[in-house]
Amino acid sequence: MSFSARELLLGAYEAFNRKGVDAFEALLAPELRWQERARSAAFNPATREEVLSRMRALPSWREVLMEPQDVLEADDRLIVVVRERPRAGARNAPEERTRTHVWTIKDGQAVRLEIYRKRSDAMWSVVGYLRLLERLHAYLRPRTYVEIGVSKGHSAARALPGTKIIGIDPAPRLFDPAIASTVEVFRYTSDDYFANNDLSKALDGRPIDLAFIDGYHMFEYALRDFMNLEPYCSEQSVILAHDCYPISRETSTRERTTAVWSGDVWKLVVCLREVRKDLDVHVVDVRPTGLAIITGLDPNSTMITSGYDEIVSRYTPTDYDVLEESKEERLARVDNDWEAITQLLPEPYQDTSDGSDDDPMESVSSTKSYRRTGEPASP
Ligand SMILES: C[S@@+](CC[C@H](N)C(=O)[O-])C[C@H]1O[C@@H](n2cnc3c(N)ncnc32)[C@H](O)[C@@H]1O
């Protein structure tokens, strides 16, 4: 009899509650990636025995009962909202709380386990911008990756092992040593960094292959980030910018008034499409607030630097009304469809003929929709 991934998982939680950590043994693949706690951001490679041994050692696994509250399925991933509470007699267990586990199941075994405090973060990892970032890294295989706005490292953790990663953030929160050790972080605002540092030195003289702008959520900051990154690019580089397909007028104001806030970064797209017609600028409508993909870069272009003041005074007052009228067109919207997205990308920077395509990050398949288990997938 074959079991669905959902049945396997629910059975494993049930056995875990009866017998403890060792009940997960049959579920775990011999080698997997796992995020030990919600506080961490890295997906550390580990053997099944190593994972079980850590689970036995940690009160947050050993001393709790885990009750699945909700299960969502998206391709090879299952999102399980879990209510955790101390087992009888627990001494060091955390207080009752909810966590969201994201399991990647391949051939009936778990090859990856992610843990999130917020269900929304788990969703971005499965169907949102973090998943898209992961696919971009897996496809492009950049040798160098520059991230402006690192925070806890959830996005930087999507880079493949071996990538030279530079992070720029005045207040990074890289709690997880496994991710902190892979990112060379410069604790400056991006303006200060570029004013006083030579990025090419940090990249050992190589150009940027891939960059991600996710710092301060205002148009002119994102524009300067773009302007400061482009000279370090090659014509084949890709610059990504977060927050370029805003949800609503309320979440797109220059002053933050909402919990979800993407500011007016979207004006970067409107501006570049008009001022830099030599670039290819598109925005993937990926949750929560879109990801711009900018290619056709010209490291010698002076069009923005020379007209910076005039450009900022022209585009900063642009009202959200322009999006109410023609959002898809003004922002060059593209579906979050992997086939369509690959048409926008250059060739991979490194070939895959070295046999390294057994990385679990490679095995990501198309995810346009997700569903609760038992429900039909939307068309
Ligand atoms: C939305 S968070 C980044 C999230 C991260 N990229 C991810 O996806 O997990 C924004 C980050 O930008 C940083 N930031 C704010 N102003 C900045 C600036 N002027 N230059 C660079 N980073 C900045 C903040 O400290 C914060 O960590």
Tokens of 208: 């940027």
135 and 364 in contact (C-beta within 8 Å)?
yes
Please report the domains of the chain, with CATH numbers, ordered by start residue: 5-124 (3.10.450.50), 129-342 (3.40.50.150)
Q: How far apart are CA 135 and CA 158, in angstroms?
A: 8
Give the pLDDT confidence of 56-89 residue by residue, as tens digits: 999 999 999 999 999 999 888 999 999 999 999 9
Q: Is the peptide bond before 288 cis (omega within 30 degrees of 0)?
A: yes
Q: In what order do the strands lie in the sheet with 64-74?
A: 44-47, 28-34, 109-116, 97-106, 77-86, 64-74, 371-372
Residue in 169, 191, 286 to alter for ligand 1 test, most ligand atoms within 8 A of Cβ: 169
What is d(CA 339, CA 166) in angstroms, rounded to the nearest whole number? 29
Q: How far is the CA of 216 from the centre of ligand 1 (A)?
A: 6
CA distance 59 to 145: 36
Angle, helices 267-275 vs 303-315, to 10°: value is: 130
Query: CB of 215 closer than 6 A to ligand 1?
Result: yes
> With contact defined as beta carbons under 8 Å apart, do 147 and 211 qualify?
yes
Query: For the whole model, what pTM was predicted?
Result: 0.89
In eight-state DSSP terms, residue 160 is: P
**281 ligand 1 Cβ < 6 A:** no
Q: Residue 79 in contact with residue 125, Cβ under 8 Å?
A: no
To test ligand 1's pocket by mutation, which of 117, 150, 152, 286 has the most ligand atoms within 8 angstroms of CB? 150
Which residues in the chain show pLDDT less than 50?
1, 355-379
pLDDT attached to residue 353:
57
Closest Cα to atom 25 of ligand 1: 171
Distance of CA 190 from the midpoint of ligand 1 (Å)? 10
Distances (CA, A) of 149 to 30, 72, 364: 35, 30, 25
Residue 96 CA to residue 102 CA, distance in Å, equals 19
| Integer Cα distance of 304 and 2 in angstroms | 59
Using alpha carbons, select from 70, 57, 56, 44 the residue that is nearest to residue 20. Answer: 56
pLDDT of residue 327: 97
Interhelix angle 267-275/321-330, nearest 10 degrees: 60
What spacing in Å lies between the alpha carbon of 312 and ligand 1's midpoint?
21
Q: How far apart are CA 361 and CA 112, in angstroms?
A: 9
185 within ligand 1 shell (Cβ under 6 A): no
Q: How far is the CA of 224 from the centre of ligand 1 (A)?
A: 14
234 ligand 1 Cβ < 6 A: no
What is the largest distance, in Å, between two alpha-carbon atoms of the chain?
69
* Ligand 1 in reach of 189 Cβ (< 6 A): yes
Q: How far is residue 62's CA from residue 159's CA, in Å, rounded to a whole number?
A: 31
- Separation CA 245–CA 305 (nearest Å): 25
